[in-house]
Structure 1
Amino acid sequence: MPELPDIASYAAPIYVGLIVAEILFVHFSRAKGSYETRDASTSIAMGLGNVTSGIIFATTVYAGIFAFFLWIYRFAPVKWEFGILSLLACFVLDDLRYYWVHRFSHTIRWGWADHVIHHSSQHFNLSTALRQPWFSFAKGYFVSVIPLVLLGFHPAMIAFAGSINLFYQFFIHTEAVGKMPKWVEAVMNTPSHHRVHHGRNARYLDSNYAGVFIVWDRLFGTFVEEDDSHPVRYGLVKNIGTYNPLRVATHEYVGMWRDATLPGLSVKQRLAYVFAPPGWSHDGSRKSSADIKLDFISRHPDEAGKPGLPGTISVKPAPMSDLTDLPSEPAAR
């Protein structure tokens, strides 16, 4: 393997420059978008914390994981030599891997406890892209890389492909760019598609998981197009109401611990508070994304079957008295 460049070291000044440019663009040209000082500062602080944790764990956790991948690589029956075609193949397959990891991060609470940090801003701009978790290795999703290693891609090539993927994703966190040409929207993840992913509207929940290629969502049935008649609302079902980076980084882990250690629960219920979808509760007092969608169409039956919404109500809808504090289209986690 040749010595590959460190994308992150080149990316940092680009990120800063473009965030400043977007702020000026939004302020002076009245382009679509919004910045709130405390929110943007928290996002930047989360990004710095992500980099710092990476440095702290670089010679321990991450070095151990990389060594493990190198050991697995020995057993690959065929090994790809580094080149444009092998890098392209690695990049596409790694993006498919990212799709499923990202999807699991929304549908398994253990993964959501880490990923919720990225969705905690009620704004959507380039600084939001920097709002990253600090302990991602704890999810254990690094095991998803093993199939790529066994297919013969060197761990360094996979890491390089992944860094390009994340670099691309920075640019799709903006409201300043509208919809792009149809062929781009058909194949690539775009700002329009990613705005939907960050939406808390019922129709937009748990959709558009792609990193670079939106074709995965189209293929696996999770694609929802941005609808200008339903503006995207950002944030969580219950917004955390804090700009404290430490609380932003840990609030869902704390909540998960409190739930899983409630008195009187069975072992199955305790495990469900960790591995069931976010919103699951042993007494049915909370709502998952599926419940929120059903509640919405129970009040708006004419919306049933539209993109992102179920076609029929398969469970008894919640009483209207339980929904009085929700907006006309309920927020999602």
Structure 2
Amino acid sequence: MPEFPDIILFAIPLFVLSMLLELYVTTKKSIHTYKTKDAFASIAMGLGNVFLGFFSKIVVLFALLLVYNNFRLFTIPVTWWSFILLFFADDFSYYWFHRTSHECRLFWASHVVHHSSEHYNLSTALRQTWSGGFYSFIFWLWMPIVGFHPAMIVFMQAVSLLYQFWIHTETIKKMPKWFEAVMNTPSHHRVHHGSNPIYLDRNHAGILIIWDKLFGTFQAELDNEKVVYGLTSKIKSYNPIFIAYHEWIALFKDAWSGHKSLKHRLMYFFKSPGWKHDGTGVSSETMRKDWLKNQEKINVD
């Protein structure tokens, strides 16, 4: 078993210092991105994620090792060129995990936590799931099959998570054009956290924005459309337990209450978050199309 440092734990002092620096800069510039209750709620979610991570990593490593030891087709050595392959493989896996987390309610139930804040700052990056770590690893199961050692995979997941910390800020408007073209940036990720119809379910990138451009989910930040952060239906709560589990409660309530077929009950878990069995639901794609049609009418008028 190759050993790699737990870079997330080592990075915690950096997280704290970065948030204090951002708070200082935004206060000096009168940019009101922090709200005390919201920031503490995000930090509490992050601490809960770290604590539960000790248990979820056992599940993840067990599953990855099970696949690696019994089903791998090749053995990829731990060397410099394998980490180049690993970087792209992990980032590709993250894109599809992240995209599915917006398009499938079973995964949205855990991922919604990260989008629940109406503020956008470095503390928002810490607002992480308390449940997703126990099953989201399925998007990485193909990697031990082709020969990546589980320890390498877990390490690269941590690298990706660490990269994504700094992009949760409004203090950086744009990076150089070449960087914006290839990498995930604060501008791209602000779009991802927007509840504006044009921004919904866009920019699922981890480190590289190229996947969104390749698979049709990219949306640039618009000068005339200021990002409105949070969910389309705001939760209005700073209670960490409610933040962590409110969507799970809503999901099971939708699926198992009332009179509906077993098929419809199960579909609530696998359809998009806005889906309703009676046709009254509105998907993010519908909201986006309606917004674009409305913009066309405004431009014509």
TM-score by length of structure 2 reads 0.95
Counterpart check, 1:299 vs 2:294: yes
CA drift of 1:292 comes to 1.3
Distance 1:198 1:43 in 2: 15
Cα distance change, pair 229–155 in 1 and its aligned pair in 2 (3 A): same
In structure 2, the partner of 1:253 is 248
How many positions carry a matched residue from both structures?
298
Alignment gaps of 5+ in structure 2: none
In the alignment, the residues of structure 2 paired with residue 297 and residue 63 of structure 1 have an alpha-carbon distance, to the nearest angstrom, of: 45
DSSP 3-state at the match of 1:85: helix
1:93 aligned onto 2:92:
no
Matched, 1:275 2:274: no
Aligned match of 1:4: 4
Opposite residue 79 of structure 2, the aligned amino acid is: G
Aligned residue identity for 2:5: P
Identity %: 47
Counterpart for residue 319 of structure 1: none
> 208, 217, 222: which one pairs with 2:217?
222
Q: Secondary structure at the match of 2:141?
A: helix
Contact between 2:37 and 2:238, CA under 8 Å: does it hold in 1?
yes
Q: Does residue 44 of structure 2 align to residue 45 of structure 1?
A: yes
Relative to structure 2, which stretch is displaced further, 275-284 or 175-184?
275-284
Amino acid at match of 1:119: H
Distance 1:264 1:54 in 2: 38
3-state SS in 1 of match to 2:205: coil
Distance across 1 between alignment mates of 2:128 and 2:139? 20
Unpaired runs of 5+ residues, structure 1, are 305-333
Cα RMSD (Å): 1.6
Given that residues 198 and 292 in structure 2 are in contact (C-alpha distance below 8 angstroms), is that contact kept between their aligned partners in structure 1? no
How many angstroms apart in 2 are the aligned matches of 1:247 and 1:303?
40
Q: Distance in 1 between matches of 2:100 and 2:200?
A: 14
Instruction: Confirm whether residue 233 of structure 1 aligns to residue 211 of structure 2.
Output: no
Equivalent runs, 1:143-154 vs 2, <5 Å = 143-154=138-149
Deviation string 1:52-87 (CA, Å, 9 cap, x unpaired) is 2123x2xxx532431332232233232121122111
Offset of residue 268 of structure 1: 1.5
Give the direction of change, closer, same or farther, for the CA distance of 1:128–1:149 in structure 2 (3 Å limit): same
Distance in 2 between the 1:65 and 1:167 partners? 19
Larger proportion of helix: 2
Q: Distance in 2 between matches of 1:133 and 1:71?
A: 25
Matched position secondary structure for 1:170: coil
TM-score calculated relative to the size of structure 1: 0.86
Q: For the Cα contact (< 8 Å) 1:33–1:124, is it kept in 2?
A: no
